[in-house]
């Protein structure tokens, strides 16, 4: 069956090259997304500039498949000096680093539109674990700073291409510990398929439509 062939092409992303079916899907859809959203980009850029006259885009090194670094692009949603002032910390509720325009962009996920370019290039996929920053840390239950590469599951999640959305992004609360989010990532890697990707993308569109990406409760 044709559907079975598509599902098969999404399997075993950790071996050899990225599955052809998944890569072609990402390539075509990211190209369409870039073309369709082109008219919105100047509007977003103008709003960002009007608020604080800072740069429109924000770039950051991220860790991709097999631990290879790549530069990720977003519309800037934080104050320009956030990295210097706060370091590579996980986003949190009422994050003081986020601008007023940035909050709107995050709720609607419009800040991530430039990552369509990362998907087009092959650095990312539409679905997969979140791409982490080199040296990223979190505060554990004891109030101690903990490097993410010391958390079980860190290495395994880099056997696949990181994604714009994924199982953890859709189902996990934003405030749970990374070790819990990594469990979602490992479950995705174990069960990944074309149809699971389609389900997660459909749910992501619904969350975006409802403006629930910043919700600490159920997103859909």
Q: Establish if 220 belongs to a structural domain.
A: no
Q: Establish if 133 belongs to a structural domain.
A: yes
Q: What is the pTM of this model?
A: 0.82
To the nearest 10°, report the CA torsion of 99, 105, 107, 113. -140
Q: Is it the case that residue 4 has pLDDT exceeding 60?
A: no
pLDDT tens track for 184-218: 999 999 999 999 999 999 999 999 888 888 777 77
Per the structure, the count of domains in the chain is 1
Q: Establish if 45 belongs to a structural domain.
A: yes
Q: Are β-strands 69-75 and 125-127 bridged in parallel, bridged antiparallel, or unpaired?
A: unpaired
Q: Establish if 124 belongs to a structural domain.
A: yes
Query: Using an 8 Å Cβ cutoff, are 10 and 192 in contact?
Result: yes
pLDDT tens track for 7-60: 443 444 444 467 889 999 999 999 999 999 999 999 999 999 999 889 999 998
Q: Establish if 7 belongs to a structural domain.
A: no
Q: Establish if 36 belongs to a structural domain.
A: yes
pLDDT tens track for 5-17: 434 434 444 444 6
Q: Establish if 2 belongs to a structural domain.
A: no
| 101/89: higher pLDDT | 101
To the nearest 10°, report the CA torsion of 108, 81, 172, 216. -70
For residue 54, what are the domain limits? 17-210
Q: Establish if 121 belongs to a structural domain.
A: yes
CA distance 182 to 209: 26
CA distance 207 to 112: 14
């Amino acid at each position: 069956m044709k559907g079975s062939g598509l599902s098969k092409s999404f399997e075993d992303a950790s071996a050899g090259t990225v599955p052809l079916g998944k890569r072609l899907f990402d390539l075509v859809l990211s190209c369409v997304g870039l073309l369709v959203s082109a008219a919105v980009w100047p509007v977003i850029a103008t709003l960002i500039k009007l608020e604080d006259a800072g740069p429109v885009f924000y770039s950051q090194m991220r860790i991709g498949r097999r631990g290879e670094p790549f530069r990720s692009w977003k519309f800037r949603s934080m104050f320009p000096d956030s990295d210097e002032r706060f370091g590579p910390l996980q986003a949190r509720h009422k994050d003081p680093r986020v601008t007023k325009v940035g909050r709107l962009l995050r709720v609607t996920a419009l800040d991530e539109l430039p990552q369509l370019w990362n998907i087009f290039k092959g650095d990312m996929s539409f679905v997969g674990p979140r791409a982490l920053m080199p040296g990223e840390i979190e505060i554990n239950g004891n109030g101690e700073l903990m490097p993410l590469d010391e958390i079980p599951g860190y290495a395994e999640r880099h056997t696949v291409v990181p994604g714009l959305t994924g199982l953890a992004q859709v189902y996990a609360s934003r405030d749970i510990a990374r070790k819990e989010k990594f469990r979602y990532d490992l479950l995705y890697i174990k069960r990944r398929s074309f149809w699971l990707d389609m389900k997660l993308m459909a749910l992501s569109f619904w969350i975006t439509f409802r403006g629930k990406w910043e919700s600490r409760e159920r997103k859909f």
